[in-house]
């Protein structure tokens, strides 16, 4: 069964075509990004030629884009990130640029989409709108970098956003909301945040959650499953993976290490 996850303004969906086929002309109401994971796939645009995709090619389709899908011999597997109108209005930076279909051949555009797919496949419960928006900002930044405005001095809003995330890492924050509070575009927000803090907003939030979990793990007797939920992780396994990535140690080992009651004799001067 192909994987599928609808969350807030987004739909993440896997499509599996097992046989060679030419589908009739159709169009979708919502803009979307498509990543070809495996096989051969082509979009035929009446009167305008076609877009032939190879594995890890990424494509963008605007709303009401009429085309026919041709699946090559051996089938195809695709991952699609669908944007509801509200998400498209918030994130697509230049209306002219996104009014036409785009294709990127094995470019960095594919990598954030691939990361979303691997999350969908391995840990869908850990996905939330904040991370999806952050990855979407990466996609748009890579695809549309010539329209980015680079900051030379650290804006005050960067520290405000950092504090908001640190103070409430388990809250239902959204990149679009933080950008609106800062008075900047979501893509500009995500890129500038990384420029001055060294990590993207979702990674910063992950590290803030790990820090809070460290404090709870060593200052309370809460079961680690409850620590995970209290700090915004989907479950204990999600927290364990984050600990491994950020600290290189499991939460239980961290708790044992920091709660070791053994003492040593004071050194004599």
Sign of CA dihedral 75, 79, 85, 88: negative
Backbone angles phi, psi at 102, to 5 degrees: -130, 155
CATH number at residue 214: 1.10.10.60
Domain for residue 10, yes or no? yes
Boundary-marking domain end, from 44, 75, 110: 110
| Closest residue by Cα to residue 205 from 112, 134, 116, 100 | 134
Calculate mean pLDDT across residues 262-269.
Answer: 38
Residue 241: CB atoms within 10 Å: 16
Percentages of the chain per state (helix, strand, coil), in multiples of 5: 45, 20, 35
Segment 27-38 mean pLDDT:
95
Is 77 part of a structural domain of the chain?
Answer: yes
**CA-based angle 211:216:220, to the nearest 5?**
160
Worst-scoring range by mean pLDDT, 39-43, 47-51, 144-148, 231-235? 144-148
Q: pLDDT digit string (tens) for 139-196?
A: 998 887 544 444 468 899 999 999 999 888 777 789 999 999 999 999 999 999 999 9
Q: Is 96 contained in some domain?
A: yes
- Residue 197 makes CB contacts below 8 A (sequence gap 6+) with 158, 162, 204
* Coil, helix or strand at residue 123: coil
In a domain, 144, yes or no: no
Q: 137 pLDDT exceeds 60?
A: yes
Instruction: Supply the pLDDT for residue 265.
Output: 39
Domain boundary among 110, 134, 150: 110
Which tokens in the block code for residue 117?
């797919």
234: pLDDT strictly greater than 60: yes
Asked if pLDDT for residue 209 goes beyond 50, the answer is yes
Number of domain units in the chain: 2
pLDDT, position 263: 42
Please give the pLDDT value at position 262. Answer: 43
Find the distance separating the first CA and the last CA of the chain, reported in whole Å.
70
**68: containing domain:** 4-110
Report if residue 124 sits inside a domain: no
With tokens 């695709």, the residue in question is: 78
Lowest mean pLDDT among 89-103, 131-145, 146-160: 146-160
pLDDT of 269 over the 70 cut: no
Q: Which of 81, 110, 139 is the last residue of a domain?
A: 110
What's the alpha-carbon Rg for the chain, to the nearest Å? Answer: 22
Listing DSSP states for 225-269 in one string gives HHHHHHTT-SSHHHHHHHHHHHTSS-HHHHHHHHT-----PPPP-
Tokens of 162: 């950092």
Residues facing 52 on adjacent strands: 42
In a domain, 171, yes or no: no
CA distance 190 to 24: 39
Distances (CA, A) of 10 to 84, 89, 127, 128, 195: 6, 13, 11, 10, 26
For position 143, what pLDDT does the model report? 85
Does 216 fall in a domain?
Answer: yes
Position 145 scores a pLDDT of 59
**Could you give the 3-state DSSP secondary structure of residue 180?**
helix
**pLDDT of amino acid 260:** 61
Mean pLDDT of 98-123: 89
The answer on pLDDT for 228 being more than 50 is: yes
CATH of the domain at 26: 2.60.120.10
């Amino acid at each position: 069964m192909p994987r599928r996850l609808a969350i807030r303004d987004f739909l993440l969906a896997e499509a599996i075509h097992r046989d060679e086929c030419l589908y009739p002309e159709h169009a979708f109401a919502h803009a979307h990004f498509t990543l070809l994971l495996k096989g051969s796939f082509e979009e035929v645009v009446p009167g305008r030629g076609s877009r032939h995709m190879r594995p890890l090619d990424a494509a963008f389709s605007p709303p009401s884009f009429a085309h026919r899908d041709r699946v090559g011999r051996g089938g195809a597997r695709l991952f699609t990130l669908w944007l509801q109108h509200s998400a498209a209005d918030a994130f697509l930076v230049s209306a002219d640029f996104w009014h036409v279909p785009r294709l990127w051949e094995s470019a960095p555009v594919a990598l954030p989409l691939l990361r979303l797919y691997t999350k969908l496949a391995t840990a869908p419960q850990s996905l939330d709108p904040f991370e999806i928006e952050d990855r979407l900002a990466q996609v748009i930044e890579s695809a549309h970098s010539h329209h980015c405005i680079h900051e030379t001095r650290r804006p005050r809003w960067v520290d405000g956003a950092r504090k908001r995330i640190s103070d409430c890492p388990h809250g239902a924050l959204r990149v679009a909301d933080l950008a609106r509070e800062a008075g900047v575009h979501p893509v500009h927000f995500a890129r500038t945040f990384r420029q001055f803090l060294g990590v993207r907003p979702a990674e910063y939030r992950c590290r803030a959650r790990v820090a809070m979990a460290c404090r709870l793990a060593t200052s309370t007797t809460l079961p680690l499953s409850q620590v995970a939920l209290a700090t915004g992780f989907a479950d204990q396994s999600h927290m364990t993976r984050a600990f491994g990535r950020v600290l290189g140690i499991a939460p239980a080992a961290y708790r044992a290490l920091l709660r070791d009651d053994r003492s040593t004799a004071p050194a004599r001067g």
